[in-house]
Amino acid sequence: MKTPPPTITKRPRTLAGAAKASDTARAQTVAHYEAALRLMQAGKYDKAHDAFNQMLAASPGELAERIRMYINACLQQVAKGKTTFHSDEERYDYAISLLNDGNYEDARAQFKQILADNDRADYAFYGLAVLASMTGDAHHCLEHLTEAIRLNAKNRIQARADSDFQDMADDPRFTELLYPEV
């Protein structure tokens, strides 16, 4: 009698390579991957970079390529956020460019960093006043502009001609601040 040929059992293949023996391990890998993506989406690039690096060695084929791509993206974002300045004036110029591009929170952070380094930087108070005016925050605009003028009276003349304060023009407190002698 003939013996039947041996049966060959094939494991199903997936996009990432051979199917995992344990669905639990695959689910865990996917969960870590999704968690790292959430960190990245939240802007926590350092933590996302670390999470992706930990996954890289154990990750299968195509997923490893995606992880490398996200690692590079995290590194670019981290490098982008580490702008160095040689002076407060350079930081101020950068803050103004952020303000002009509509990145209000980043601009605010730069102005506040200037004030943390030098609490008498009238131009940083002036920048915060412009920011507050542009975002419709009249109270903080007046507060910051008052401080800028107190530190440097030339800011009063500057503000009179500054179109960034156009939304404040109808506020009598603003007029009184700019034209105290009237």
Helical segments of 82-167, H only: 88-100, 104-117, 122-134, 138-151, 154-161
Judged by DSSP in three states, 119 sits in coil
Task: Please give the single-letter amino acid code of residue 63.
Answer: L
Predicted confidence at residue 20, as pLDDT, reads: 46
- Rounded distance, CA 150 to CA 166, Å? 21
Say what the pTM is: 0.58
Under a CB-based contact definition with an 8 Å cutoff, are residues 107 and 137 in contact?
A: no
Type and span of the H or E element at 78: helix 61-81
- For the chain, domains (ranges, CATH) are 20-81 (no CATH), 88-178 (1.25.40.10)
pLDDT tens-digit map of 35-87: 999 988 888 888 988 998 888 877 777 788 888 888 888 888 887 766 788 89
Predicted confidence at residue 91, as pLDDT, reads: 93
